[in-house]
Amino acid sequence: MNHLSSYQSFLDVLKHWMPYYLVAMVAAEAVYQVIRFKRAYTKETWVNLTTGITSIIIQSVIKTLFFTGLYPYIYEHRIWNLELNGYTFLLGFFMYTFIQFGTHYLYHKVRLLWCLHEVHHSAVKMDATTGLRTSIFDIVSLDILYILIPLSGVHPIVYFILYSLNKIWGTFIHFNEKIVSRIPILEHVLVTPGIHHIHHASNTLYLDKNYGEVIPWYDKLFGTYASQTEAPVYGTSLVKEEIGFWEAQLHEFRSLQKDVKNANGIGNKIKYFFMPPGWHPGDITGTASYIQKKYLESLAQKKSIGD
């Protein structure tokens, strides 16, 4: 059996069992929470499930048609000819995880993209269903950047395997912190639930931290990594309680529409789409980076006075 056949067989297994795995993970966590904590699923959980099912129906069809047709075409016009083996799979892995890190960063730093991504962050509780909570309007967006993988000469099947594995791991890292959080040894090489819980937290110290979904190395390299020093508070600066399906999908777009409508000049109107959330013309005090900077400065000042 050649390398392509081996990878195809592995992908076929992933595609067959992934739906069962996702359902089993969600169900197992639900049963455990009911038995251990006497906690039944809430309104938010049903919003998560509804959102996930809707997104799967919409995105799976469009993305499947788009990427299964585009990636092989891009690969046929690749820049380099690379043999499909363990080395190119490793190259594809690092390309995939770096693109994931970079696109995730942009989702937090570009207002229009944040309108899509904030749906995921508007959950005020953390469990496996939170991983299903995505924007139904985020059809392709920055996923288009993954074409760099087949363009570089890495066979597209590598992308599809990594995408599937990422979805599987992504369910696990959203598990409730009372069930699983820190995994001390593993968290040096992989993103664990505890690391990802910090990313979902609205605590000032944790804003825009831990973008990685598979490995934490890029966060550590670029200074966006944070370890837990206080209990995470989920939600966003504007969402502190459970909200409904359409509210979750649309409220950030409504906020953007209001800011654009009230902005003076076409330049400021356009900037609202691309500047970070919290930015206003001539005012950056509402952005996550500024809020965190001032908070850290105040902590440092208090520490120096205490010393």
pLDDT at 52: 86
- pLDDT value at residue 145: 94
Split into its structural domains, the chain has a count of 1
Tokens matching residue 112: 């229009």
Which residues is 283 bridged to in the sheet? 280
HEC profile for the chain? CCHHHHHHHHHHHHHHHHHHHHHHHHHHHHHHHHHHHCCCCCHHHHHHHHHHHHHHHHHHHHHHHHHHHHHHHHHHCCCCCCCCCHHHHHHHHHHHHHHHHHHHHHHHHCHHHHHHHHHHHCCCCCCHHHHHCCCCCCCCHHHHHHHHHHHCCCCHHHHHHHHHHHHHHHHHCCCCCCCCCCCCCHHHCCCCHHHHHHHHECCHHHCCCCCCCCCCHHHHHHCCCCCCCCCCCECCCCCCCCCCHHHHHHHHHHHHHHHHHHCCCHHHHHHHHHCCCCCECCECCCCHHHHHHHHHHHHHHHHHHHC
Percent of the chain with pLDDT over 70: 97
Say whether pLDDT at 230 is over 90.
Answer: yes
Query: What are the CA-CA distances from residue 200 to residues 79, 90, 164 (Å)?
Result: 38, 28, 22
> Which residue did the predictor score with more confidence, 157 or 15?
157
Does any domain span residue 237?
no
Q: Is residue 117 part of a domain?
A: yes
pLDDT given at position 41: 66
pLDDT, one tens digit per residue, over 5-47 is 889 999 999 988 988 998 898 888 888 888 877 766 678 888 9
**152: in domain:** yes
pTM for the full model? 0.93
Residue 1 scores a pLDDT above 60: no
Whether 48 is covered by a domain: the verdict is: yes
Decide if 284 is inside a domain: no
The parent domain of residue 112 ranges over 3-222
Whether pLDDT at 118 is above 60: yes
pLDDT digits (tens, 9 = 90+) for 182-225: 898 899 999 999 999 999 999 999 999 999 999 999 999 999 99
Is position 228 within any domain? no
pLDDT of residue 175: 92
The reply to whether 276 falls in a domain is no
Q: In this predicted model, what pLDDT tens digit does every residue of 51-78 receive, in sequence order?
A: 988 887 877 777 777 777 888 899 999 9
Between CA 46 and CA 242 the distance in angstroms is 11
Residue 307 pLDDT grade (very low, low, confident, very high; cuts 50, 70, 90): low
Which segment of 63-67, 71-75, 154-158, 290-294 scores lowest on mean pLDDT? Answer: 63-67
Residue 300 lies in a domain: no
Kindly report, residue by residue over 121-140, the tens digit of the pLDDT: 999 999 999 999 999 998 87
